[in-house]
Amino acid sequence: MATVEVRGIVKRFGDVTAVDGVDLLTKEGEFLVLLGPSGCGKTTLLRMIAGLEEPTEGDVLIGGQVVTDLPPRVRGIAMVFQSYALYPHMTVFKNIAFPLKAQGAPKAIWKEKVTWAASMFGIETLLHRKPRELSGGERQRVALARAMVREPNVFLLDEPLSNLDAKLRASAREELQQFQRDIGTTTIYVTHDQVEAMGLGDRVAVMDEGRVRQIGTPREIYHEPADTFVAGFLGTPPMNLLEKENRTFGFRPETFLPLEVSGGHNDVEQFQFEVTWMEHLGSDRLIYGNVGARFTHRHVVAKLPANVTVPIEPGETYTFAVLRKDLKFFDRETGLRANPIPL
């Protein structure tokens, strides 16, 4: 078991800066998720930690040791790739045994180790098959077993669930988290899917344009976004952002409720909400519209749970309210969190 640290790491491809000075330190046994839109540098960062990419500047430390110039095989890491990267011409057994062979482990222990890793993921019956004879979910388990078999200090996972269908993804997520808890190996997980990130991570590092915008628990990054990017990236739909004077302020769609529902609280901010359009999503109602003319950029969304049955019609104007504690303020120039101002 080990911690992973990157210090001031930069990666440039020609004129493009993929990773722009990232500092990051995992805790021991932590499940850390790198979350961001495509092209934000999260995969490049992971590949630098793995040793598959050489950083332009900065250092990678694993277990306190600088490993920047070491090849992947001596870093004590294992990696699971988006496509799983199973060796197509080898059986599942040989796939899982390959890292052992490559490490020069004695032949006598291959079988024992492969069986152990396979049983951990319930794929003992598939050992004689070739990857092309497996389903997506089975391939993913084989890839995990192959990563597992060397008992690495650090697990690196690059969008390992993105090739699974939605239903399988949910169960795979649960299994993955359970498995990580059981073995307690430090894990870094790259994804662009915020549901995965929130569900799996002990902490989530939100990245954009090669930088870490915020690192924190899923709760923190959702409820206390450090800047407007994080606020606008997380949540479906994301935080409503409005502007007033030198501030941008925002509130989550689910905190934006009809006044009568949020009634009883005195500490609320009221808005005149002119409804333009509505979507019924089963568990929720999404209500789109504009708030009073005192704000620029005034298009907002409200998300009402199904148990809020207040009748709402497009074309009408209603009084909605947000608890003041749910309003988040950002500096309009920098996008960073700032002190509240009266609205």
Burial of 237 (0-12, 13-18, 19+ CB in 10 A): middle
Q: Which of 1, 54, 65, 89 binds other proteins (CB under 8 A)?
A: 89
R_g of the chain, CA atoms, integer Å: 24
Sheet holding 4-13, edge to edge: 16-25, 4-13, 57-62, 65-66
CB 93 → other proteins: shortest distance, Å?
14
Stretch that binds other proteins, among 98-106, 176-184, 185-193, 284-292 (CB under 8 A): 98-106
Contacts of other proteins in 19-48 (CB under 8 A): 47
Q: Which residues pair with residue 184 across a beta bridge?
A: none
Nearest to 276 by CA among 286, 268, 267: 286
Q: Which of 131, 160, 216, 258 binds other proteins (CB under 8 A)?
A: 131
Q: Does 99 bind other proteins (CB under 8 A)?
A: yes
Stretch that binds other proteins, among 58-66, 84-92, 217-225, 327-335 (CB under 8 A): 84-92
Q: Does 56 bind other proteins (CB under 8 A)?
A: no
Distances (CA, A) of 11 to 43, 68, 172: 11, 13, 32
Q: Which of 30, 42, 67, 98 binds other proteins (CB under 8 A)?
A: 98
**Region for 326 from its dihedrals, namely left if φ exceeds 0, alpha if ψ lies in -120 to 50, beta otherwise:** alpha
Sheet holding 31-35, edge to edge: 77-80, 154-158, 186-191, 31-35, 203-208, 211-216
Binding residues for other proteins, rule CB under 8 A, total 28
Q: Does 85 bind other proteins (CB under 8 A)?
A: yes
CB 292 → other proteins: shortest distance, Å?
50
CB 71 → other proteins: shortest distance, Å?
7
- Do you find a cis peptide bond into 237, omega within 30 degrees of 0? yes
Q: Does 126 bind other proteins (CB under 8 A)?
A: no
Cα–Cα distance measured from residue 21 to residue 29, given in angstroms and rounded to the nearest whole number: 24
Stretch that binds other proteins, among 67-75, 258-266, 303-311, 319-327 (CB under 8 A): 67-75
- Interface contacts to other proteins, rule CB under 8 A: 47, 50-52, 71-74, 77-79, 81-83, 85, 87-90, 98-99, 101-103, 131-132, 146, 150
